[in-house]
Structure 1
Amino acid sequence: MAMNWYVVHAYSGFENQVKRSLEDRIKRHAMEEKFGQILVPTEEVVEMKDGQKRKSDRKFFPG
C-alpha cells in the first residue's frame, strides 16, 4: 500500500507531545498498518555554554 505524506500543525513546544498522542491513538485503534513513521524534524546542535560543549536538539519547523 502506498503511503502519503501529511503535515500536522502543533503549538510550539508541544510537538513531541502531539507525536506521542498520535502514536498512542494509532496503537489503541489497531491501525499501525495504515500509518508509517511519525517524525518531528530536528537537528543536533553543539553549543558552548560556561566553557563546556553541550548538545541539544533544535526543531527545524517549530510549531
Structure 2
Amino acid sequence: MRSQHYQKLMAQVRATRIQTALKQIYTLRPICGRDYDYRLTIGNTEYFYLHGGVAFSRLLVES
C-alpha cells in the first residue's frame, strides 16, 4: 500500500507535467483542417485540443 504522502507527491508530479504540456500547446499554433487543433499524449491518455481547450480525451489501451 502506498502512503498518502507518496500519493500526494505523485499527484503534484502529474499536475506539473500537465501544466508543462499545456504551456507547450499554448505556444504552438494549431494544425487546421481537423476536428481538433492539437493532440497530446500524457501517460495512457490522449488529449485533443480545439481552440485552446480540451475538446475530448481518450484512454489508450494496449492491443
TM tier relative to shorter chain: 0.3 to 0.5
